[in-house]
Amino acid sequence: MELQRLVGTMEQCACVERELEKVLHRFVTYGHQSEERLDELLRSVCEIRGQLLAFGVQDADISVLSQTMAQCCKNIKETVQMLASRHKDIHGSVSKVGKAIDRNFDAEISAVVAETVWDTPERQKYLSESIVEHLYRQGMLSVAEDLCQESGVVIDMSMKQPFLELNRILEALRMQDLRPALEWAVTNRQRLLDLNSSLEFKLHRLYFISLLSGGITNQMEALQYARHFQPFASQHQRDIQILMGSLVYLRHGIENSPYRSLLETNQWAEICNIFTRDACALLGLSVESPLSVSFASGCMALPVLMNIKQVIEQRQCSGVWTHKDELPIEIDLGKKCWYHSVFACPILRQQTSESNPPMKLICGHVISRDALNKLTNAGKLKCPYCPMEQNPSHAKQIYF
């Protein structure tokens, strides 16, 4: 069933993509034809202008000049009409893309959305804060500030500062400037080691490679810089040996040697990802913002929910899904979206929630609060897994 839904979604996307490719092809063709016709007209007008400047109106044959000007005006008019007609055809193709989207995807999703999800100022504040945090993570600082002013959200400077520094370093890395990242890694060396991170070594490695790409003139500087590898010799011995071995081919160029893989350009994108991951770990943040994770999860869950809603309506069993804050089926979002374990009560066989959290008994066994209340008799509770009798008020909430 899941495979069928996936195949169906891919077919829908392919249908829209085909219409989009037609539009893009027409745009490119229209652009080339427009340039050719306009260049041709421009040359024709320039020739007429040159003739008038060379011979003068007095010497020119008025009848010939009149015919030439009339033909030129006619060509201009025909070109304008032709371009306008083809432009209308493009508008038709663009509208077909919109129709293909409407035909293959559901535009109305209110049936699976809780109407009151953002009805309180507190929830709206949470949403605005999530958007602001996402904008800070993306480096869109001015947009985040504008949103704060318009929404009235107050963000503490202590929250902004880490994102400002993170984006400053990432921007430098995108410009292939390693110095800010190296300074940050050295400052946070011990904390990175506690995370078992290899970020600092990879930064030094990439800086060493940038020296190698400069050729034989950087040989002495590269040898001196190799001293930075000493603290990492035990963990990255093989990588260091490869870097040192590449120095033999420096005179002939690393790109012409067996070590040419050291110059692969994807290393810069990789170091950006590693820095983002480890910096977020030090800040106690996930690599992706809560907003982007929620959006991605919604995109995966929405098609399934729409199909379930359609089946419920077709079979006229509307009572199956009455609470919008609960899902009628379990939706697998993949391990990427697993942030904590989910506890299911072994007594009632129900998943715990905010209103029914797991409770730890004195004996160490865990059951849900609803099960705790049902098992309580005359102010006493006997654990269903061991004979220990205890006071239910001594049970402790361990989640939520």
Each residue's pLDDT tens digit, 14-41: 888 888 888 888 888 888 888 888 888 8
Tell me what pLDDT residue 203 has.
92
pLDDT value of residue 25: 87
Q: Does domain 344-397 have CATH number 3.40.50.10540?
A: no
Report the pLDDT value the prediction gives residue 67, as an integer from 0 to 100.
79
pLDDT at 1: 47
pTM above 0.75, yes or no: no
Please write the tens of the pLDDT for every residue from 338-387. Answer: 666 678 888 888 888 878 889 888 888 889 999 999 888 888 888 888 87
Give the pLDDT confidence score for residue 218 in this predicted structure: 84
Assigned token pair, 19: 């219409």
- Check residue 313 and give its pLDDT: 74
Domain residue ranges in the chain? 1-104, 160-283, 344-397
Mean pLDDT, each 10-residue run in order, the chain (400 residues): 56 81 86 87 84 64 74 86 84 82 72 74 86 84 86 80 85 90 91 87 91 85 89 88 87 83 86 88 80 84 79 70 64 73 81 85 88 88 84 80
Q: What HEC string does the chain produce?
A: CHHHHHHHHHHHHHHHHHHHHHHHHHHHHHHHHHHHHHHHHHHHHHHHHHHHHHHHHHHCCHHHHHHHHHHHHHHHHHHHHHHHHHHHHHHHHHHHHHHHHHHHCCCCCHHHCCCCCCCCHHHHHHHHHHHHHHHHHCCCHHHHHHHHHHHCCCCCHHHHHHHHHHHHHHHHHHCCCCHHHHHHHHHCHHHHHHCCCCHHHHHHHHHHHHHHCCCHHHHHHHHHHHHHHHHHCCCCHHHHHHHHHHHHHCCCCHHHCCCHHHHCCHHHHHHHHHHHHHHHHHCCCCCCCHHHHHHHHHHHHHHHHHHHHHHHHHCCCHHHCCCCCCCCCCCCCCHHHCCCCCCECCCCCCECCCCCCEEECCCCCEEEHHHHHHHCECCEEECCCCCCEECHHHCEECCC
- pLDDT given at position 340: 62
| Predicted local distance difference test score (pLDDT) of residue 260 | 84
